[in-house]
Structure 1
Amino acid sequence: MTCLYPKINDQLFIQVPSSDASEAEVEYRSRIAELEDEAFLIEIPMQESSGRLKKLHIGDELSVYFMGEGGIKNYFYTHVLGFKEDVIRMVRVHKPAKDEILKIQRRSFLRVSAELELAVRTAAGIRFLVRTEDIGGGGTSFWTDVSTPLEVGDRLECWLLIPYRNGLNEHAYFEAEVVRMKELDTGRSVAMLKFVNILDGERQKIIRFCFERQFDFRNR
């Protein structure tokens, strides 16, 4: 499926990496005003809840998504190139290559290899700490050993520590079910989980991490 660029008047949803945790979580809304060969011209991003405009500077990094057909979110990274004064002031941002735009489909979540810290509690109240093997918007897997026996069908409460590119860490909470156990030659096992109860906001934290990780892989 060919990835399409956003069109004039398409809405953009923008987050601006910041060392301030509360600011980094703010989502701003903007709109494509003009298209250039190497850039998009967008309206000054605005926080919908407060009407506050976001002051941007040349070089600022932006994490952006726009909605495609069927509710598919198209994510990309960009940065501010400059400004254009017209009837309204516009921000000129770098136009990414088409292969730098990642589609996140509702039922087909991106999954990436990642060793993240995961705190787990079983239905019996046993707690343990593990490292993930991979993570995605629909589930995760982690390494475990015989001291923490698990079986297919077990329900687990999980707290995932997510490190972002801007240096901030977030926790995502979810409930998951063990769907497969894979034994390794080392005597350890890999527990494969699917999410069975997760708030959309928690899932978005994970999807954001996966997007950042995939973006980093592509630019190595």
Structure 2
Amino acid sequence: MEIGTVLNLELEESGRNHICYCKIIEKNDKYLIIDYPIDEKTKKTKILPRKKLFKVTFVGKDNVVYQFTSEIVAKVKLNIPALAIRIPLPEKIERIQRREYVRVETAVDIAIHSFNNQFTPFVTVTSDVSAGGLAILAPKHISLEIGTIVEAWFVLQMNDNQFHYIDTKTEVVLNREANKRINLVSLKFITISKANRQQIIRFCFDKQREAKKKELI
């Protein structure tokens, strides 16, 4: 966990789960110093009681999602209001994303452009998304042979209603027929920033969590 890492805090109050986001602004051997958490739904500062246990989820340097349990231990005086949470023992940090990049089935609007004008740019939707690449629905008349390099523009709407705009170079790695008019084309990210990859991981993680909640209803 590095300074600047986004933490997802989940705690239960009055029988309801609350999700908040914050960032690590300082750290030492025992504590992480975080800015005040923002409630995912209200977009307001969330006051967390001391000694109240909550789950902390974050994306590691290896682009894998980890989770541990912690608590607020103190308020900290810095340039901005801050809180200290306890760092768990390494064996208490659970790796909850088993594959390198989790893939989720979801429809995200996406624009595809050719670098050498092989085809007219077109807008479509994804079939699935992961931090390693995505699959799109492409018209059959568009030539997307394996190895073709294309530019992909898409927007991710996160659970906190923030929008993240991603522009990346991709390579066609698979092209198979979906029906008489549409092909299912898999694209691998070639150039993508660490920050954008982490946003996609977070997006996929949120989608997984939504699916699990629906299964419980």
| TM class by smaller structure | 0.5 to 0.7
SS at structure 2 position matched to 1:219:
helix
Aligned mate of 1:109, from 96, 101, 106: 101
- Alignment partner, residue 64 of structure 1: 57
After TM superposition, the score normalised by the length of structure 2 is: 0.64
Let me know the Cα RMSD of the aligned residues: 4.1
After TM superposition, the score normalised by the length of structure 1 is: 0.63
Shift of 1:122: 0.9
SS at structure 2 position matched to 1:45:
strand
Aligned mate of 1:161, from 136, 155, 161: 155
Mapped to 2, the partners of 1:173 and 1:159 lie a distance apart of 5
- Alignment partner, residue 167 of structure 2: 173
Mapped to 2, the partners of 1:219 and 1:29 lie a distance apart of 31
Shift of 1:27: 3.2
Residue 143 (1) aligns with residue 137 (2) = yes
- Asked if 2 retains the 8 angstrom alpha-carbon contact of 1:75 and 1:104, the reply is no
Shift of 1:155: 0.5
Identity %: 21
Could you say if the C-alpha distance between residues 101 and 135 of structure 1 is closer, same or farther in structure 2, counting changes exceeding 3 Å?
same
- Asked if 2 retains the 8 angstrom alpha-carbon contact of 1:14 and 1:45, the reply is no
Give runs of aligned pairs for residues 31-110 of structure 1, distance below 5 A. 43-46=32-35, 56-58=46-48, 64-65=57-58, 67=60, 71=62, 73-76=64-67, 83-84=72-73, 90=84, 102-103=96-97, 108-110=100-102
Mapped to 2, the partners of 1:86 and 1:200 lie a distance apart of 31
Shift of 1:74: 3.1
Mapped to 1, the partners of 2:59 and 2:25 lie a distance apart of 10
Shift of 1:204: 1.5
- Asked if 1 retains the 8 angstrom alpha-carbon contact of 2:176 and 2:184, the reply is yes
Could you say if the C-alpha distance between residues 187 and 137 of structure 1 is closer, same or farther in structure 2, counting changes exceeding 3 Å?
same
Could you say if the C-alpha distance between residues 158 and 86 of structure 1 is closer, same or farther in structure 2, counting changes exceeding 3 Å?
closer
Residue type of the partner of 2:203? F
Question: For structure 1, which runs of at least 5 residues remain unmatched after alignment?
Answer: 1-9, 18-23, 35-41, 48-54, 93-97
- Alignment partner, residue 95 of structure 1: none
Question: For structure 2, which runs of at least 5 residues remain unmatched after alignment?
Answer: 10-19, 37-44, 78-82, 87-91
Shift of 1:58: 3.1
Count of residues in correspondence between the two structures: 180
Shift of 1:102: 2.7
Shift of 1:63: 6.6
Mapped to 2, the partners of 1:165 and 1:63 lie a distance apart of 16
Residue 118 (1) aligns with residue 138 (2) = no
- Asked if 2 retains the 8 angstrom alpha-carbon contact of 1:130 and 1:142, the reply is yes
**More displaced stretch, 176-185 vs 122-131:** 122-131
Shift of 1:84: 4.8
SS at structure 1 position matched to 2:143:
coil
Write the deviation string for residues 73-114 of structure 1: whole angstroms up to 9, x where unpaired: 434598x98x5559997559xxxxx9x963376xx2111111
Aligned mate of 2:187, from 186, 189, 193: 193
Mapped to 2, the partners of 1:166 and 1:14 lie a distance apart of 13
Shift of 1:119: 1.1
